[in-house]
Amino acid sequence: MRITAPPHDDGPGPGAVDLSDHDFYATGDPHPLWARMRRHTPVHLSTLPDGRSFWSVTRYHDVNTVLRDHTRFTSSRGTLLSVLGGTDPAGNRMMAASDPPVHTALRKPMAKVLSHQALRPYNPQVRRVVHRMLAPLLDGGVWDLAEAGARFPMAFTGTLMGLPEEDWDRLTRLTTTAIAPQDADYRHSEGHGTLAAAHHELFAYFSGLVRRRRRDPGDDLVGFLLGMEADGRPLRHDELVYNCYSLLLGANVTTPHAVAATVLALVDHPREWDRWRADPSLTSTAIEEGLRWSSPANHFLRHATRDTHLRGRHIREGDAVVAWLGSANRDEEIFADPYRFDLTRSPNRHVAFGFGPHYCIGAPLARIALDALFRTLVPAVERFTLAGPVEHLASNFVAGIKSLPLRARLSPGARRTIEAAVAEDGPVTV
């Protein structure tokens, strides 16, 4: 998805663009539209040609209200536009597609093993993955950061979940297919066939994994889920499968795009890159600005549980309501000069990880990974330059970059540092 600063107020109105269209995010630019909607129709009803409809919510506080208030806006019917007009079979079985108290019973024990403190032992593994990911820079040729980044989270999430290494590439492709089934590089049939096939293969994979692992659960995340209780009972087979799928999907399809979009922003703003290189203490605020800037999770869907009002608009019970995170993170009422990439932005109350009860449970792991990557990448590279066209993912859920070819001018000594780190780390597949 392109990220631009709307030059004026003369862009297309919300009725002129289908915000659910995957291709719009590959070739178009939603930011001028969102800016116009925030000013004129912050809560807007769109009706598709097939009769399905949804409310678009574009202002920061309204997005937070929709995501926070599960008594008015439920997750149990599904959380993505891909289920618009239907219901999600994972409703009240998967943490992401449930409301309290079901959601709380699932989330509370999982949050303990996915906290920053609990994940600390995995830091060496994340650093090894980073070093292997950056090793191709030593060749001096074109390096596609988006392609390398797509495999980045799988190498440590796969380890965390105890997934066989030989399955990582397949699972990476399947999770991307699940969120971009209309993208030309992932689509293999018309209609919903690609999405259905990806879901079938992923659910079958985790179903088989869970059955095998019951005999020897192990001490990884899947083993934890097998021994976990929710409301005093063990998880059923379908709950285990759905939550394994959800955890892997969340890790695989957001972190890589935060990396690519942040680096692309720094290519476009070289003074900010120099500023970061000169002051490594900026890393924490820079990562948060990269998350706000990229907003890799583009939207979340809810359904109204009763007749209600938002910004004076009457929303009926059962209506679909879409909270656009990418728009909320550019809300002029919250973020000063929101189209400026600012490494020192503070406060930065972005909603890249959502808000409320469904705040991303994997946020600590994502921040650990991003911190390890940029603390190595920034001092190693003096300058990146584009070496070809940037290609964006056709997905209405993930604001993704699928190709970002770069050339790098390495810092003095960076080659020796990376080579020594790779040699010391030992073999890790990325």
pLDDT digits (tens, 9 = 90+) for 164-194: 999 999 999 999 999 999 999 999 888 789 9
pLDDT above 70 as % of the chain:
97
Q: Which two tokens stand for residue 292?
A: 């706000």
pLDDT bracket for residue 422 (50, 70, 90): confident
Instruction: Tell me the mean pLDDT in the region 294-306.
Output: 97
Provide the phi-psi class of 100: left if phi over 0, else alpha when psi is between -120 and 50, else beta.
beta
* pLDDT of amino acid 418: 82
pLDDT of 334 over the 90 cut: yes
Least confident piece of the model among 18-32, 99-113, 408-422: 408-422
Backbone angles phi, psi at 135, to 5 degrees: -55, -40
| Mean of all residue pLDDT scores within the chain | 93
pLDDT of 430 over the 80 cut: no
pLDDT above 90 as % of the chain:
85
CA 311 – CA 281 distance, rounded (Å): 41
Residue bearing tokens 């806006």: 73
* pLDDT of amino acid 9: 58
* pLDDT of amino acid 199: 96
Residue bearing tokens 């609990």: 118
* pLDDT of amino acid 308: 98
Looking at per-residue pLDDT, the higher value among 362 and 4 belongs to 362
Contacts of 402 (CB under 8 A, 6+ apart): 146, 147, 150, 183, 185, 391, 392, 393
pLDDT bracket for residue 11 (50, 70, 90): low
Instruction: Tell me the mean pLDDT in the region 383-403.
Output: 96
Handedness of CA 195, 198, 202, 204 (dihedral sign): positive
pLDDT digits (tens, 9 = 90+) for 200-209: 999 999 999 9
Q: Which two tokens stand for residue 384?
A: 């990146």
pLDDT bracket for residue 429 (50, 70, 90): very low
The single-letter code of the amino acid at 222 is: V
CA 404 – CA 389 distance, rounded (Å): 7
Task: Provide the whole-model pTM.
Answer: 0.95
Looking at domain 14-425, does it have CATH number 1.10.10.410? no
* pLDDT of amino acid 192: 85
Secondary element (H or E) of residue 34: helix 30-40
Contacts of 70 (CB under 8 A, 6+ apart): 99, 100, 103, 356, 357
* pLDDT of amino acid 190: 80
CA 163 – CA 159 distance, rounded (Å): 6
CA 171 – CA 198 distance, rounded (Å): 10
Strands 320-324 and 299-304: antiparallel
* Length reported for the chain: 430
pLDDT of 427 over the 50 cut: no
Instruction: Tell me the mean pLDDT in the region 17-22.
Output: 93
pLDDT of 56 over the 90 cut: yes
Burial of 4 (0-12, 13-18, 19+ CB in 10 A): exposed
pLDDT of 421 over the 80 cut: no
pLDDT of 8 over the 60 cut: no
The single-letter code of the amino acid at 12 is: P
pLDDT bracket for residue 426 (50, 70, 90): low
Question: Count of alpha carbons within 13 Å of 251, Cβ hemisphere only?
Answer: 26
Considering only CA atoms, give the Rg of the chain. 21
